[in-house]
Structure 1
Amino acid sequence: MQIPLRSIGVFHAVARMGSVSRAADELCVTPSAVSQQIQALEVHLGTALIVKAGRSIALTEAGERYFEMIGGEVERIAEATLRIRGFRSVMSLNLRATPTLSSKWLLPRLSAFLDAHPDIEVRLDGTSGPTNFGTENVDLEIRHGDGRWPGLYVEGLAEERFLPVCAPALAPPESLEPAELGAFRLIHSVRSQVPWGRWFAQVGAEPAERWRRVLFDRSHMAVDAAAGGLGIALESTLMMTDELRAGLLACPVRAPPAIGLVTQWIVCPHDHLRHRKVQTFLAWLRTERDRWQAGEGGATL
């Protein structure tokens, strides 16, 4: 019996990308040509593989099972084809993360992943807005928020500790009581989930009636401003590991309260988890997270 290899390849592209039009763009054919190949494969198999779901498409139960069975084999065939032509197979991993996490935590570690996995090419999009996985070509996102996004796979990255920090020249480590912070300019991250008001309430201190402050809409700007001596910032240890380790920042408060919170979340559609490149990156990311928690993240900084 003749196997419809072309139709199988087209189905794999549609199922992988979740879209007929995006599959057509990747294959350099028209959407109608893609639909015809899918219909031919369905006739060959005697079952429906794809159904319309509003403006997008969804796999039927048979389609899900078929894609699961052929996915790894099609990827291996594609890799073998490229290798036999003399090219190294490269998979592109489209990753989105917040600008602060990208620059302060992810980028200093990313070379280790790239060196260990030369067959995976990473495209990092440092964007704060949440991904619309139905329309955007993003494999995996690290999203800032409360972790409540129904219908998606959601995993907390790490528990962060929030501490007041400043350049040691501005105030030496452990030199201040909480109530004394009002004498300094306070740096505010306007999107932070732990604002200064909450911190003062937790330590039972009243902020100054008219506190001096400067506001930033990105945490990496607040961290850099504090390291530059502009004032005292209230920030996450996840976002300032390097600055704390290098002595550019330190906590000026004696016995600061323990405020722990997960604010960064690994997010993607559940079906993305079966892609080898996503599995590989997640395994590496969890290892880096565990290493951070056992070291700087778990230490008193």
Structure 2
Amino acid sequence: MSIPFRAITAFHAAARTGSMQQAAEVLGVTPSAVSQQIQIIEAHIGVRLFSRKGRKSVLTEAGERYFEMIRDDVDRITAATERMRGVNSYTTLNVRIAPTFATKWVMPRLDEFLALHPDIELRLDATNEPPDFARENIDLEIRHGAGPWHGLHVEPLVDEPMEVLCAPKYAAAQSLSAAQLDGHTLIHSVKNVVQWSDWFQHQGHPMPTQSRRVLFDRAHMSIDLAANGHGLALESRLTAAQEIASGRLVPAIRDAKPIIQQSLWLVCPYSHLNRRKVRHFYNWLKSTLTEFPAAAH
């Protein structure tokens, strides 16, 4: 039996948009035509992919699994077909990016990239999960970690001075010493390359024994908690740049010995560097980082 590709396309559109009506608009058909095609694919594979909840159609568990399995392949086929037909003046750039860097640095500056490159349709996937470039439709990754990773183009983006930061209402700027942090709330970003234990060792002091710990797996959560006055965060001046510039965060430690974290990397297969859209994003991102004079801190 031949595979009903038209029905698969209708299912993909309905699952992606979450609506038969919106899927119909995307495909240029009626909602009843979309529903009919979904019935065809359900009959073909022998499972229900959608169920009714009131007036809405929602994915079943089997539908969610099926969409997850076909999503990237259908996206690749669609993009390749549109490029070959030349009917779409847009080209899609898929970037996987570390969540905190995306939230704190890239997003506030993204309007500039979009204005410079109106022909690029940008899709950002903010996650720390490394992509499988052979199977996933990812052009470029901004990876957070210690590096390096073999078999890929791996390029460090920027050196990040790490600093103990707090809200002015928690402690005045440079009013504390490393020896005075017993009893304070230390906010931990558990995925940072430089941890509190590294910082204290670098300062020549043991870790406090009476401090309260609060732990997060996203640095932007640590930054926000510190900015709200709930403790001391050891964070990159790069990702906390907005809060420092606005005065919501200040350096808490006087005479601290500088410590640098290298945790942001541009990662992709070597062949992806030949893609025009990748070079455009790469060059733009590097240009934004010239705003950040790491050596000055």
TM-score (norm 2): 0.71
1:20-78 per-position Cα deviation (integer Å, ceiling 9, x unaligned): x779833899xxxxxxxxxxxxxxxxxxxxxxxxxxxxxxxxxxxxxxxxxxxxx7x86
- Cα offset for 1:191? 1.1
Mapped contact 1:160–1:262 kept (Cα < 8 A)? yes
| Alignment gaps of 5+ in structure 1 | 1-20, 30-74
3-state secondary structure, aligned to 1:233: strand
Alpha-carbon distance change, 288 to 23 in structure 1, aligned in 2, over 3 angstroms: closer
Q: Which amino acid aligns with 1:92?
A: T
Report what 2:177 is aligned to. 177
Mapped contact 2:186–2:214 kept (Cα < 8 A)? yes
Alpha-carbon distance change, 28 to 173 in structure 1, aligned in 2, over 3 angstroms: closer
3-state secondary structure, aligned to 1:238: coil
Report what 2:166 is aligned to. 166
Report what 2:199 is aligned to. 199
- Cα offset for 1:206? 2.2
Mapped contact 2:142–2:264 kept (Cα < 8 A)? yes
CA distance in structure 2 between the aligned counterparts of 1:24 and 1:170, rounded to whole angstroms: 50
3-state secondary structure, aligned to 1:132: coil
Mapped contact 1:179–1:207 kept (Cα < 8 A)? no
3-state secondary structure, aligned to 1:191: coil
Q: Which amino acid aligns with 2:170?
A: L
Mapped contact 1:140–1:267 kept (Cα < 8 A)? yes
| Alignment gaps of 5+ in structure 2 | 1-72
Alpha-carbon distance change, 23 to 200 in structure 1, aligned in 2, over 3 angstroms: closer
Alpha-carbon distance change, 195 to 122 in structure 1, aligned in 2, over 3 angstroms: same
1:115 aligns to 2:167 (yes or no): no
CA distance in structure 1 between the aligned counterparts of 2:189 and 2:79, rounded to whole angstroms: 45
Report what 1:231 is aligned to. 231
CA distance in structure 2 between the aligned counterparts of 1:229 and 1:261, rounded to whole angstroms: 24
CA distance in structure 1 between the aligned counterparts of 2:281 and 2:207, rounded to whole angstroms: 43
Aligned length: 225
3-state secondary structure, aligned to 2:215: strand
Cα RMSD, aligned residues only? 2.2
Mapped contact 1:163–1:234 kept (Cα < 8 A)? yes
Report what 1:154 is aligned to. 154
Q: Which amino acid aligns with 2:257?
A: P
Mapped contact 2:181–2:211 kept (Cα < 8 A)? no
Identical amino acids, percent of aligned pairs: 43
3-state secondary structure, aligned to 1:271: helix
1:132 aligns to 2:184 (yes or no): no
3-state secondary structure, aligned to 2:188: strand
Any residues of structure 2 matched to 1:1-301 within 5 Å, and which? 25-26=77-78, 81-82=86-87, 89-293=89-293, 297-300=294-297
CA distance in structure 2 between the aligned counterparts of 1:185 and 1:265, rounded to whole angstroms: 30
1:201-239 per-position Cα deviation (integer Å, ceiling 9, x unaligned): 111112322321111111000000000011000001111
Q: Which amino acid aligns with 1:101?
A: F
TM-score (norm 1): 0.70
CA distance in structure 1 between the aligned counterparts of 2:249 and 2:78, rounded to whole angstroms: 47
Mapped contact 2:193–2:262 kept (Cα < 8 A)? no
CA distance in structure 1 between the aligned counterparts of 2:80 and 2:220, rounded to whole angstroms: 41
3-state secondary structure, aligned to 1:292: coil
1:253-290 per-position Cα deviation (integer Å, ceiling 9, x unaligned): 10111111210000000111111101111111111112
CA distance in structure 1 between the aligned counterparts of 2:140 and 2:244, rounded to whole angstroms: 29
